Structure 1
Amino acid sequence: MQKLVDTFILATNAFDIEGALALFTSDAVIDDVSVGDAFVGTEGIRLYLEQFFVGYQTASKLLSIDQRGNSEALVRLDFTGDFGHETGWLKITTNSNGLIERIDADLV
Structure 2
Amino acid sequence: MTVVEKFIETTNRKDIEGALEIFTNDAVINDPSVGRSFDGIDQVRVYVERFFVGYNTTTKLLRTEQITESSVKAYVDFTGDFGHETGYLQFETNGDGLIIRVDADLD
Whether TM-score is above 0.5 comes out as yes
Q: How does 1:1-108 map to 2 (within 5 A)?
A: 3-108=2-107
Which shows bigger deviation, 68-77 or 25-34?
68-77
Determine the C-alpha separation between the residues in 2 that align with 1:72 and 1:106.
Answer: 15
- Does 20-29 or 61-70 show the bigger shift? 61-70
CA RMSD, 1 decimal: 0.8
TM-score, normalized by length of structure 1? 0.96
Unpaired runs of 5+ residues, structure 2, are none
Query: Residue 95 of structure 2: SS of its match in structure 1?
Result: coil
Q: Deviations over 1:1-24 (max 9, x none)?
A: x61111111100000000000000
Q: Provide the rounded CA distance (Å) in 2 between the counterparts of 1:18 and 1:37.
A: 22
One-letter amino acid of the structure 2 residue matched with residue 85 of structure 1: H
TM-score, scaled to structure 2:
0.97
Aligned length: 107
Overall identity of the aligned pairs, in %? 55
Find the residue that maps to 1:96 and give its secondary structure. coil
1:69 CA displacement: 2.1
